[in-house]
């Protein structure tokens, strides 16, 4: 099958905010304990953090990490995680039916962020707590000194403030499962007042208000309209979350779900514009897509633990999806969607980073390895920085229950002007046919291929494991050639690839 793509140097969607390649770490399962933190591990640093994991996170160039939850944050007392470690209490986590030793708290997490070179995105608890806790936490984290909470931080060993700019006002507050679940009006009022108090401390903070937990919630998208009606002038972002699954084993339908994602972003962007117009506001609120990933492989296995049948274990294996080759395609499609929607999506966080629905896995006392989905995330984060190009794509399409007119060829293009490089990220959704693609470059001058990486696999269910960590990996591509300003590239059936071109 044939497809064509036109990339014009001046047809730009937006300068990409690198934070669309963010991630998320929650006190859940083994994300923190035996994930990033394992003091007895052979590679542990002086803070008890696994250096093998730090190295893998650094490879991903993760710009921002959301913390400490997720559902966990809605009953979390941040004060439990400060002060001498031996004095910290073990608490029951009601969200995941586990217990938490609090050996990792804000100090340990901040030091870890420094080690991997990332920014913190902190969430406050608006479930079991509220405005007062939020303002105290903010003072502890960001005030230089001379006040109750900032002096406590200094006494706990950190003289300089952490200076965290990005804050989430709770998590998934529309979800009946959330501790302290609220109606849109209840949450909207609380979020407004909390944002007002936080801004009274520092007007330059960036604040994220909770949108719906997903586009299938009964209150979506009325929730967004009501919450923004309460908060529009106090917040900077509204959050979206979406998890993808292929329980039915229908690949074509699974790979059509990124079109649903695109529609979801479009709808919320419309609601933002509606409220903006209603308020006659000049301010623009953007989208923080701060939880996304494939999540379904582990759900059956986790049922008993989440039902409380195993008591309150500390750091059990939970949400440990083992990703296969098919999921590589899905993650590539999701990231392509964020690049194409980078005019409205300014932050996005793959949920999560280590062990819990994550691109990185660890064995306690053992190795750390890259899941199959590590690679599309790596390619987008490392090479997807610059200007998102508004490509003209002509591709045959198919219809699926999830969406209609789904193009077989999914492609995103990014122009890094400083380096003089254009990178294309492409997925062929077709199960049996290659896509022979004719790519025209307009206004870039002479192009030269500097890198071409392809991911294919004869087995859609192939995975990487501790014993076989390189089963699903990218390989150097061969089916691309340049002739002046035309590039011919062949995309094998069900494949993901990146093509990097040096341009003037």
- Report the interface residues with ligand AHR, using CB under 6 A: 26, 69-71, 171-172, 213, 291, 351-352
First to last CA, the chain: 31
The helix/strand/coil state of 86 is helix
| Residue 179 contacts residue 95 (beta carbons within 8 Å) | yes
Shortest Å, Cβ 290 to ligand AHR: 9
| Cα gap 233→399, rounded to integer Å | 40
In this complex, which beta carbon is closest to ligand AHR, that of residue 71 or of residue 212?
71
In this complex, which beta carbon is closest to ligand AHR, that of residue 298 or of residue 453?
298
Instruction: Report residue 99 as tokens.
Output: 């217990």
In sign, the C-alpha dihedral spanning 210, 131, 124, 122 is: positive
Phi, psi of 58 (to 5 degrees): -60, -40
Residues 6+ apart with CB under 8 A from 216: none
In this complex, which beta carbon is closest to ligand AHR, that of residue 84 or of residue 308?
308
CA-wise closest residue to 199 among 247, 236, 234: 234
Q: Count CB-CB contacts under 10 A for residue 496.
A: 27
Shortest Å, Cβ 177 to ligand AHR: 8
Shortest Å, Cβ 69 to ligand AHR: 5
CA dist list (Å): 92 to 24, 139, 196, 432: 21, 26, 31, 50
| Residue 136 contacts residue 149 (beta carbons within 8 Å) | yes
Shortest Å, Cβ 155 to ligand AHR: 32
Which residue, judged by CB position, is nearest to ligand AHR in the bound state?
A: 70
Phi, psi of 488 (to 5 degrees): -105, 125
Shortest Å, Cβ 266 to ligand AHR: 22
CB < 8 Å & 24+ apart, contacts of 197-202: 197/131, 197/134, 197/135, 198/134, 198/135, 198/138, 198/167, 199/234, 201/135, 201/138, 201/139, 201/142, 201/143, 202/138, 202/142
Per the annotation, the verdict on 245 as an active-site residue is: no
Shortest Å, Cβ 284 to ligand AHR: 25
Residues 6+ apart with CB under 8 A from 92: 98, 99, 100, 312
The helix/strand/coil state of 376 is helix
In this complex, which beta carbon is closest to ligand AHR, that of residue 241 or of residue 340?
241
In this complex, which beta carbon is closest to ligand AHR, that of residue 164 or of residue 171?
171
Shortest Å, Cβ 352 to ligand AHR: 6
Per the annotation, the verdict on 119 as an active-site residue is: no
| Cα gap 22→73, rounded to integer Å | 19
In this complex, which beta carbon is closest to ligand AHR, that of residue 76 or of residue 162?
76
In this complex, which beta carbon is closest to ligand AHR, that of residue 70 or of residue 211?
70
Shortest Å, Cβ 380 to ligand AHR: 20
In sign, the C-alpha dihedral spanning 159, 163, 164, 170 is: positive
| Residue 166 contacts residue 121 (beta carbons within 8 Å) | yes
Place of tokens 């497809």: 3
Which one-letter DSSP state was computed for residue 324? Answer: B
Q: Return the beta strands (E) in 149-188 as ranges.
A: 166-169
In this complex, which beta carbon is closest to ligand AHR, that of residue 171 or of residue 423?
171
In this complex, which beta carbon is closest to ligand AHR, that of residue 26 or of residue 260?
26
Catalytic residue from among 38, 79, 172, 224: 172
Shortest Å, Cβ 213 to ligand AHR: 6
Catalytic residue from among 26, 291, 320, 326: 291
| Cα gap 305→297, rounded to integer Å | 15
Residues 6+ apart with CB under 8 A from 362: 30, 34, 35, 38, 50, 52, 53, 354, 355, 368, 369
Which residues are catalytic, by number? Answer: 172, 291
């Amino acid at each position: 099958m044939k497809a064509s793509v036109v990339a014009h140097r001046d047809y730009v969607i937006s300068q990409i905010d690198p934070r669309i390649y963010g991630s998320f770490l929650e006190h859940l399962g083994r994300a923190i304990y035996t994930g990033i933190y394992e003091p007895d591990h052979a590679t542990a640093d002086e803070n008890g953090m696994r250096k093998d994991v730090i190295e893998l996170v650094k490879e991903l160039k993760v710009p921002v990490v959301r913390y400490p939850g997720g559902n966990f944050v809605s009953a979390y007392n941040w004060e439990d995680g400060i002060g001498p470690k031996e004095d910290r209490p073990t608490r029951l986590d009601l969200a995941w039916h586990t217990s938490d030793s609090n050996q990792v708290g804000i100090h340990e997490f901040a030091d870890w962020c420094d080690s991997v070179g990332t920014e913190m995105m902190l969430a406050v608890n608006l479930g079991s707590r509220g405005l007062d806790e939020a303002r105290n936490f903010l003072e502890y984290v960001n005030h230089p000194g001379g006040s109750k909470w900032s002096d406590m931080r200094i006494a706990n060993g950190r003289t300089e403030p952490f200076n965290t700019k990005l804050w989430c006002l709770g998590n998934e507050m529309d979800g009946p499962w959330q501790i302290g679940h609220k109606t849109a009006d209840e949450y909207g009022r609380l979020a407004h007042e909390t944002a007002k108090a936080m801004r009274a401390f520092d007007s330059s903070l960036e604040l994220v208000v909770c949108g719906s937990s997903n586009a299938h919630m009964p209150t979506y998208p009325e929730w967004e309209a009501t919450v923004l009606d309460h908060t529009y002038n106090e917040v900077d972002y509204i959050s979206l979350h979406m998890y993808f699954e292929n329980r039915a084993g229908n690949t074509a339908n699974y790979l059509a779900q990124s079109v649903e994602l695109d529609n979801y972003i479009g709808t919320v962007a419309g609601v933002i514009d509606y409220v903006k117009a209603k308020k006659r506001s000049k301010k623009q609120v953007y989208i923080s897509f701060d939880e996304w990933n494939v999540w379904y492989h582990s759900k059956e296995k986790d049922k008993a633990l989440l039902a409380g049948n195993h008591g309150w274990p500390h750091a059990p294996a939970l949400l440990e999806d083992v990703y296969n080759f098919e999921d590589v395609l899905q993650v590539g499609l999701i990231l392509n969607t964020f690049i194409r929607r980078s005019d409205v999506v300014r932050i996005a966080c793959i949920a999560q980073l280590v062990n819990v629905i994550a691109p990185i896995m660890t064995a306690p006392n053992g190795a750390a390895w890259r899941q199959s989905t590590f690679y599309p995330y790596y390619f987008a984060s490392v090479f997807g920085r610059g200007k998102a190009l508004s490509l003209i794509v002509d591709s045959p399409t198919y219809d699926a229950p999830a969406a209609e007119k789904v193009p077989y060829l999914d492609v995103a293009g990014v122009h890094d002007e400083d380096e003089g490089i254009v990178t294309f990220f492409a997925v062929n959704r077709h199960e049996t046919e290659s896509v022979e693609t004719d790519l025209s470059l307009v206004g870039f001058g002479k192009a030269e291929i500097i890198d071409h990486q392809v991911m294919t696999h004869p087995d859609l269910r192939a995975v990487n494991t501790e014993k076989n960590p390189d089963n699903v990996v990218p390989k150097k591509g061969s089916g691309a050639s340049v002739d002046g300003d035309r590039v011919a590239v062949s995309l094998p059936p069900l494949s993901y690839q990146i093509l990097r071109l040096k341009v003037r």
